[in-house]
Structure 1
Amino acid sequence: MNRSKGFTLLEVLVAGVILFSVVATVALIYKNAMHSLQLSEKHLAISTAVPFLLDEIKDEIRNQSQGSDSLAGEGSNIKAKFYWEASVVKSGRPNRSALNENGDNVKQKFKLWQVSLTMSYNTYVKKYQFQELSWESD
């Protein structure tokens, strides 16, 4: 009997298909992991800046709102750029006035602001909207 040592053509083809499938699967997983990493980096760059920016915007609205019905600002932090604008959607006096220490009515007006914040990092853009309340004394 003549027994040859080695693999048949069919065995080599089956092994090649299996190897190609494994390499293609690993490449696809790697590609998706890299895409997720880039997306999470963009999201993290914006998300970490939002709480600090919200505090700055609220302070500016409360301090600069006297006599103004619209405000805006822009800038950048470590990685992300931002632009915000605010406009008054409602103003007036509360239905029930507060009393000061002497029992007199305190005359204050409120302004309810609609704030739009747009943040960008490279090509990733995220928009936020919120409302803020400020008070004005007569």
Structure 2
Amino acid sequence: MKEDLLTRTIIGLAIDVHTALGPGLLENAYKECLFYKIDQAGFQVEKEKIMPLVFEDVKLDCGYRIDILVENKLVLELKSIEALSDVHLAQTLTYMKLGGYRFGLLMNFNVLRLKDGIRRIVNGY
């Protein structure tokens, strides 16, 4: 599936979750529900994917985990906070860089309309 179509489909599923639950819950609630919806839609999906840091040819587990990885190409970083900041963007970009992924979605579920809490990210390295 093309990345643009995949991204739009996942955003649609996230909007379904947000419509059903509304804002104000913990991040983990949205993560579990979105993971379920993506899995039910037939996509290959991983939750809490460990991302080791490679330093001097040694893989180190520093606690980095991608919230959700879809089709081994789309990184989903989920938040339920007052507002997204540059730190959250940097976190998502770090996960994308560590895993060699080009596409990501940074989503804040603590908004009235989910589309106002989504940032699409394309890493051009």
Q: Does the pair score TM above 0.5?
A: no
- Ranked by relative contact order (alpha carbons within 8 Å, sequence separation 6 or more), the top structure is 2
TM-score range, shorter chain: 0.3 to 0.5
Which has the higher Rg, Structure 1 or Structure 2? 1
More strand by share: 1
When normalised by structure 2's length, the TM-score is 0.34
